[in-house]
Amino acid sequence: MSSASKETALVTGASSGIGAIYAERLAARGYDLILVARNQERLAVLAKHLTDQYGRKVEVIVADLTGDGLAKVEAILKQNASISLLVNNAGIGAAAPLLASDVDKMEELIAINVRAPMRLAYAAAPGFVERGGGAIINIGSIVGVAPEILNGVYGGTKAFVLALSLSLHKELADKKVRVQAVLPGATATELWERAGLPISNLPAEIVMNAEDMVDAALAGFDQGELVTIPSLPDVADWDAYEAARQKLMPNLSRNTPASRYRQTAAA
């Protein structure tokens, strides 16, 4: 690998799990990195490893994206013209049923899973357009299309990530800005423990290791996919789902109710 940089990637939630693996893979591809997370010690260890292993320039930003740290990262995305890739990975999960969940914790979940990726995408996109290219990778979840599986608020936040990605793609594709939504299934990371459902409680056949997940996601990115579901065996199934969604479009808004909703005249 040449030491010449392919510009800079900013990765959120980079101190462990999926974010740390993205950082490793992107460093191997020649990107300099800006790593964002709350855990300074872990970030420092990862940054040193990436610099020693790949000779990349690595900047560490300690920031809580539910608080003032979000504005700090937004400013970096707006001001640093070397950034060409944003990986919106930071997020938290929830496994408990809605009625058994703390509503304040659900609000925190929305802040990190919805507000943060939205604001960071808004911060990055104008510069990408102005510079003639860039890419945004949004890490969602299969619960974005299957919210019945886990906590409903968590599913709702990941549905937002998918919807935002689809809309951004439509708006930015002709401006040479790539968007990819990655929808992993159960992935072996610390998220599950933090959500109160240790990964060991899940059937092994549905859990993918994080390295395989990220490698599949990057393969999907290289293939130009808008939506990547790393565990989906047959992409034709997603294509059929998307074709059915597109078929709905012309009839979702009309000036008369569907015939099945028209009241019949009283006899």
Burial class from Cβ neighbours inside 10 Å (0-12, 13-18, 19+) for residue 177 reads buried
Q: How far apart are CA 23 and CA 243, in angstroms?
A: 34
Q: Point out the catalytic residue in the list 22, 31, 54, 154.
A: 154
Q: How far apart are CA 114 and CA 159, in angstroms?
A: 10
CB neighbour list of residue 28: distance below 8 Å, 6 or more residues apart: 1, 54
Q: How far apart are CA 59 and CA 8, in angstroms?
A: 10
From the list 160, 183, 157, 155, the residue with the least C-alpha distance to 97 is 155
From the list 35, 38, 63, 61, the residue with the least C-alpha distance to 49 is 35
Q: How far apart are CA 50 and CA 207, in angstroms?
A: 27
CB neighbour list of residue 113: distance below 8 Å, 6 or more residues apart: 91, 92, 154, 157, 158, 160, 161
**Catalytic: 241?**
no
Residues annotated as catalytic (active site), given as ranges: 154
